[in-house]
């Protein structure tokens, strides 16, 4: 099975090489990765200042936290500083939301 997956991934890489090997690929993905913590920031602000956190799912943020943690590690492995930093900030935001929601419910 791993041979099939490796063959598939090599085929996909070959088809997308013009993008994946672009000299600005890591810089661009790092910058675009910053959208994630920017998107979470308003929710963090709301759980801090709102009178109630009803309707905010801490479980959803646990799932986000796990995904962001994995992509932090992917950023480290790929030596993509922008991705690593953006996902690390997102991890901290999600963790803050989880803690605040659990304390306030």
**Residue boundaries of the structural domains of the chain:** 23-104
Average pLDDT, the chain: 93
Is the CATH code 1.10.10.10 the one for domain 23-104? Answer: no
Q: Is the pLDDT at 1 greater than 80, yes or no?
A: no
User: How would DSSP label each residue in 2-36?
Assistant: HHHHHHHHHHHHHHHHHHHT-TTHHHHHHHHHTHH
pTM: 0.81
pLDDT tens-digit profile of 2-56? 999 999 999 999 999 999 999 999 889 888 989 999 999 999 999 999 999 998 9
Q: Which two tokens stand for residue 33?
A: 């990765």
pLDDT digits (tens, 9 = 90+) for 64-87: 999 999 999 999 998 889 899 999
Task: Give the distance from CA 71 to its chain's centroid.
Answer: 6
| Tens-place pLDDT, residues 45-63 | 999 999 999 989 999 999 9
Considering only the C-alpha atoms of the chain, give the largest distance between any 2 of them, rounded to a whole number of Å: 54
- Give which of 51, 48, 29, 49 is closest to 99, Cα–Cα: 48
């Amino acid at each position: 099975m791993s041979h099939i997956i490796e063959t598939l991934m090599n085929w996909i890489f070959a088809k997308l090489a013009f993008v994946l090997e672009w000299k600005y690929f890591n810089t661009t993905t790092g910058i675009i990765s910053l959208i994630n913590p920017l998107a979470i920031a308003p929710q963090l602000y709301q759980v801090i200042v709102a009178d109630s956190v009803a309707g905010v799912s801490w479980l959803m943020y646990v799932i986000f936290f796990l995904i962001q943690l994995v992509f932090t590690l992917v950023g480290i492995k790929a030596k993509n500083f922008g991705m690593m930093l953006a996902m690390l900030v997102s991890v901290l935001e999600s963790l803050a939301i989880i803690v605040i929601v659990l304390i306030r419910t």
